[in-house]
Amino acid sequence: MLDQQMNELVQTQRDFYNTGATRSLDFRMKSLRRLKTVMTEREQDLLDALLADLAKSPVESYSTEIGACLGEIDYFIKHLRTWIKNRPVKGSLAAPLARCHLQPEPLGVALISSPWNYPIYLAIMPLIGAIAAGNCAIVKPSHFAPQCSQVLARIVREAFEPGHVHVAEGDTDTSTALLKQHFDYIFFTGSTSVGRIVMKAAADHLTPVTLELGGKSPCIIDKSADLKLAARRTAWGKFINAGQTCIAPDYLLVHCDIKNVLMAQMAENIAAFYGPDPRQSRDYGRIVSPRHFIRLEGFLKDGRIITGGESDLDSLYIAPTIMDQVDCSSPVMQEEIFGPILPVIEYEDLEEVLQVINQRPRPLALYLFSDDPAIQDQVLNGTSSGGVSINDTLSHILPHQLPFGGVDDSGMGAYHGRSSFDTFSHMKSVLKASKWPDLAFKYPPYKISLDMLKRIMRYV
């Protein structure tokens, strides 16, 4: 029954797409503006839902979810008129006097599957690219954030025609039924393990995918770093959203000469951010579910607690926690943590650091605090990751002009800004040939010698 429902849903989207309505610039612009209007009107509903699902404060909810999406919409409205145009490219002597261009065209019907940790941002951001590129879309939000899922469905109903965009609420059974359908593109954000399932399902229909996954993102703090800045920005990047951020620093690699000073400063910053008891702070979130809580609580025994360590299952609270004396083979160093626990490993030589990072799957993000340009170059050239922030955390996700995406186990494909438009578009190659000259030697029977042909083709 569920499979049939999803099949009918996808067909409804495809029928709407086949009308050609989504292709005009005017339709796309109106869709973007309408989405912005409805999100603005439903701002309080969004804030309430994020508070209910993740205990996010209004400021954190607006800055990391609502405001970021509205800013992306504005950026698209400003630039879409240019992006939608054909892109001239240089031809070659193989087709004399021909005019060549790339013509962006929509892919068709896209599936956007979003997770629970940033349930608004990670659903709306790819949706902006999908509708701007002229597609229809089905959004499948996570059932672990049910209040946000309901508000998203309400916003989409108010902003779009039913065949244009639809929110398919439900649990894993709904996701499974959707993945059996034939989409023209799948955009998935979530864990690496589920990403493999998505890719296998997409392969049945030869459907292209973008996979935004995760991994263990390292944060290196060199002795040349501004330690006060490093402590403040690392603590912020790690413990925002209670550590449930795919690009959060997952483990800290700290030069042994500065470790003790840095740990003291990080503890000071945690107290400055959330008070002496973060449990009482309205700016510190909660773990999304008991299942995730139990997994995280198990990590607390994998090292010596420097600060934090308190937990409470009833309120899904785990304190901002830093721990050292961690073995690289322990569970906390084998799995993506995705919570407010930060293991610390000290080092003496940077080559040790590069070895620790490079023996693991390539991470979604890498962070380096160092004022030494030589060390910055050594890390940039000696590692591979989806993105890098130097002397900050998380910030490389902010500029519209920087594509965001992973590599290897941390994902494939990228989005944000023009990259989102390109991700949901097919760049159709178009050549308009000239009637003259019509070179006789290319037609059989061939009268040109092979030697002459070789000489000519050197210039083609």
> Which residues are known catalytic residues?
212, 246
Do residues 217 and 364 lie in contact, with contact meaning Cβ atoms separated by under 8 Å?
yes
Nearest to 392 by CA among 219, 206, 267: 219
Q: Two tokens at 407?
A: 């590599």
Q: Two tokens at 112?
A: 């956007």
Do residues 424 and 128 lie in contact, with contact meaning Cβ atoms separated by under 8 Å?
no
Do residues 330 and 233 lie in contact, with contact meaning Cβ atoms separated by under 8 Å?
no
Nearest to 328 by CA among 185, 218, 240: 218
As a three-state string, the secondary structure of the chain is CHHHHHHHHHHHHHHHHHCCHHHCHHHHHHHHHHHHHHHHHCHHHHHHHHHHHHCCCHHHHHHHHHHHHHHHHHHHHHHHHHHCCCEEECCCCCCCCCEEEEEEEECCEEEEECCCCCCCHHHHHHHHHHHHCCCEEEEECCCCCHHHHHHHHHHHHHHCCCCCEEECCCCHHHHHHHHCCCCCEEEEECCHHHHHHHHHHHHCCCCCEEEECCCCCEEEECCCCCHHHHHHHHHHHHHHHHHCCCCCCCEEEEECCCHHHHHHHHHHHHHHHHCCCHHHCCCCCCCCCHHHHHHHHHHCCCCEEEECCCEECCCCEECCEEEECCCCCCHHHCCCCCCCEEEEEEECCHHHHHHHHHCCCCCCEEEEECCCHHHHHHHHHHCCCCEEEECCCCHHHCCCCCCEECCHHHEECEECCHHHHHHCEEEEEEEECCCCCCCHHHCCCCCCCHHHHHHHHCCC
- Buried b vs exposed e over 78-88: b needs ≥16 C-beta within 10 Å? eebeebbeeee
